[in-house]
Amino acid sequence: MQLVIKLGGSILFGSNGELDLSLIDKWLDILVDLTQYAKVIVVVGGGYPARRYITWGRRLGLSEFECDELGIHVSRLNAYLLLAALRQQTKNTTIRIYGSIPTTPGEIYEARDNYDIIFVGGFIPGQSTIGVAAEVAEASQADFLVVATDVDGIYDRDPKRFSDAQKLDEVAIDNLISAFSKREEHAGTYSLFDIQALKLIKRSRIPTIVFNGRNIHTAKKLFRAMIRGDLQQIRKLATIITHRNQNKK
């Protein structure tokens, strides 16, 4: 099995902007366990420090392109932090960790068969790390793209603003594209998805799952359900993005 996991910055950093070291440690354990069943590519977001650098950059008169470059560097730094921590944790094992942070999909394509885990940050300005994750999933021919965020899945409206928002067990990719197509995006403000990422998911027909990565108990149950192919359990724990009623090219 080939998995691409998008770890959002909201997973790495707490509400105070500090690294959530305890949660990161638990995620590293999950990644080690997953190598028994799959090759894993982890795409890491920039999170709080990326937003701070982008804010400082704007105050100094940097362009949106330059602000995006700042966010990319921070996401790669976050990715390298996880890489180095996992390498330290697994130094007495046979787990093969790619030793640098790839900067292109081609580099990942060449490395994917020879390593158990690859960590990735941002690629290019104008592309969010969820866009990177979708591109990596397509390039690596992933079996699943798994998006770990700080809510339980995709809702009918923003659950952080509306207490009566309802979690969707499934949602069609075309409906998501329609919902996100009118949103403007600037450096540091990418939402759960952006239109480019959704179009890649649609084109490649990648099975995509969105869940709460801050809930480690849920994460463990979800990956076990994925390994078993238990769609009913996955729907309970997350949202599945479906490709129904789409014509194959």
Q: Is 3 helix (H, G, I), strand (E, B) or coil?
A: strand
Residue with tokens 């979800």: 222
Amino acid at residue number 109: Y
The domain segmentation of the chain, as residue ranges, is 2-242
Handedness of CA 242, 12, 159, 177 (dihedral sign): negative
- For every one of its 249 residues, what pLDDT tens digit does the chain have, with 9 covering 90 and above? 999 999 988 899 987 889 999 999 999 999 999 999 999 999 999 999 999 999 999 999 999 999 999 999 999 999 999 999 999 999 999 999 999 999 998 999 889 889 999 999 999 998 889 999 999 999 888 999 999 998 899 998 888 888 888 999 999 999 888 887 765 554 444 467 888 889 999 999 989 999 999 999 999 999 999 999 999 999 999 999 998 754 443
Question: Superfamily assignment of 2-242 in CATH?
Answer: Acetylglutamate kinase-like (3.40.1160.10)
